[in-house]
């Protein structure tokens, strides 16, 4: 009886993600649909991993060249349980272009429709840039920031919102008279405060608020009725720092190529000339090329273990590279080898996630 490796034990992190299971000569290949794993052919799995998304396809010889992934150090990710960081570069996908949101929402729900521009395999267009594999840095961390702020309501505003929140339209209408009476009751002191405020401003030029008048003349202020309200969540930012110290000329060349790939990925490009439909105002692709620039590439940052995502480290959706810093004197002294290459280089990378994370997917990110 042949060994059946079965489906992957963990859910995928993005629609279209592929993986494999098995061993001892018996393998199965899978693709994540957003709900479940579907078995695919080995050829489809290989075509979905052109830059070496799986462990075996990113191996290059120690001190290797550019035939595979760019890696530092040369022997990083050489074992089945190796931990490493993988960077893959993609053409930026406009979030509202060529996306059938109604169809996606019917199949994968509103979250799938929101994530489609960074998770749908049919929208991926991998760049010619090579996959980069680096060692796990020392400063891996992540953070989630929710924005809450206090909001003050007048007594009348609070009463109206309380009735509106009850969902009883009839009660809101029946209490309309009471709400009007309350408003009239507040009109006289508010009008008096406004008159005093205007008089002081005209005579002395001083600026006073109604609460200043109430506090200084009656020892009271308006009830602020403050409530804490949720106003949104921030896109996640993170940075990674690598100290690159070449041990031979092969690693020195590899480091130069790695830095070049990151610089090329974060910088804009001139338009191809095919981005906009041609009109009488835009008569030729040359016009578009001269008047527009393309958005820089985006990057998928994956913390890996062997050929799969590391389940013990937070993962990220597609990211923009916001900063690339290269320090050629990380030890405070300019030093080179006999061929002129640097003894050490500090590479600092800053990223910002292109999509928000929701509670329903917190187990993946």
Task: Give the range among 4-13, 72-81, 94-103 with minimum mean pLDDT.
Answer: 94-103
User: Are residues 321 and 351 in contact, defined by beta-carbon separation less than 8 angstroms?
Assistant: yes
**Confidence band for 342, pLDDT divided at 50, 70 and 90:** very high
pLDDT above 50 for 66? no
Predicted model pTM: 0.69
How far CA 114 is from CA of 96, 126, 149, 354, in Å, comes to 10, 21, 26, 11
pLDDT above 90 for 243? yes
**Confidence band for 319, pLDDT divided at 50, 70 and 90:** very high
pLDDT tens figures, 160-204: 677 666 665 555 555 555 544 554 445 456 656 666 666 766 676
Determine the Cα–Cα distance for residues 271 and 287; give it in Å rounded to an integer.
10
Q: Buried b vs exposed e over 332-355: b needs ≥16 C-beta within 10 Å?
A: eeeeeeeeeebbbbbbbbbbebbb
- Alpha helices per DSSP H over the chain: 42-47, 101-119, 155-166, 169-174, 176-204, 210-218, 249-266, 285-291
Query: What's the confidence (pLDDT) of residue 57?
Result: 41
Determine the Cα–Cα distance for residues 223 and 119; give it in Å rounded to an integer.
49
pLDDT above 80 for 61? no
What rounded mean pLDDT belongs to the chain? Answer: 77
Residue-wise DSSP of 123-180: G--B-SSPPEEEEPPS-------EEEEEEE--HHHHHHHHHHHHT-HHHHHHTHHHHH
Nearest to 49 by CA among 131, 122, 112: 131
**Confidence band for 82, pLDDT divided at 50, 70 and 90:** confident
Query: What's the confidence (pLDDT) of residue 332?
Result: 93
- The residue extents of the domains of the chain are 1-48, 64-91+126-145+237-361, 147-232
User: Are residues 287 and 275 in contact, defined by beta-carbon separation less than 8 angstroms?
Assistant: no
pLDDT tens figures, 21-43: 765 446 788 887 767 888 888 77
pLDDT tens figures, 244-302: 999 888 899 999 999 999 999 999 988 877 767 655 455 567 766 777 888 999 999 99
Query: What's the confidence (pLDDT) of residue 55?
Result: 40
Query: What's the confidence (pLDDT) of residue 249?
Result: 86
pLDDT tens figures, 95-134: 877 666 666 666 677 887 788 777 766 666 777 778 999 9
């Amino acid at each position: 009886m042949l060994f059946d490796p079965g489906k992957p034990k963990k859910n995928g992190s993005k629609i279209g993600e592929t993986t494999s299971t098995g061993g001892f000569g018996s393998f199965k290949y899978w693709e994540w649909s957003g709900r479940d794993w579907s078995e695919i052919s080995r050829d489809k799995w290989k075509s979905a991993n052109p830059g070496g998304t799986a462990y075996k396809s990113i191996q290059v010889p120690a001190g290797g060249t550019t035939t595979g992934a760019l890696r530092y150090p040369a022997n990083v990710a050489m074992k089945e349980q190796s931990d490493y960081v993988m960077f893959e570069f993609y053409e930026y996908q406009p979030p509202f272009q060529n996306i059938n949101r109604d169809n996606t929402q019917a199949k994968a729900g509103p979250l799938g429709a929101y994530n489609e521009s960074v998770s749908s395999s049919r929208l991926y267009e991998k760049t010619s840039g090579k996959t980069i594999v680096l060692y796990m840095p020392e400063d891996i961390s992540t953070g989630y920031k929710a924005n809450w702020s206090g909001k003050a309501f007048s007594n009348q505003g609070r009463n109206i919102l309380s009735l509106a929140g009850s969902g009883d339209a009839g009660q809101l209408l029946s209490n309309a008279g009471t709400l009007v009476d309350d408003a009239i009751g507040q009109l006289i002191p508010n009008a008096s405060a406004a008159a005093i405020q205007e008089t002081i401003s005209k005579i002395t030029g001083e600026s006073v608020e109604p609460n200043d008048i109430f506090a200084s003349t009656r020892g009271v202020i308006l009830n602020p009725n403050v409530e804490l309200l949720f106003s949104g969540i921030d896109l996640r930012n993170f940075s990674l720092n690598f100290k690159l110290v070449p041990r031979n000329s092969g690693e020195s060349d590899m480091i130069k190529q790695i830095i070049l790939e990151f610089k090329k990925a974060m910088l804009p490009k001139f338009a191809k000339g095919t981005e906009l439909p041609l009109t009488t105002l835009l008569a030729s692709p040359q016009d578009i090329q001269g008047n527009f620039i393309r958005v820089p590439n985006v990057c998928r940052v994956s913390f890996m273990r062997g050929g799969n995502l590391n389940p013990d480290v937070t993962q990220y959706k597609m990211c923009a590279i916001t900063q690339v810093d290269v320090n050629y004197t990380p030890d405070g002294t300019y030093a080179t080898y006999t061929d002129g290459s640097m003894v050490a280089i500090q590479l600092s990378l800053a990223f910002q996630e292109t999509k928000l994370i929701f509670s329903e997917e917190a187990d993946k990110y």
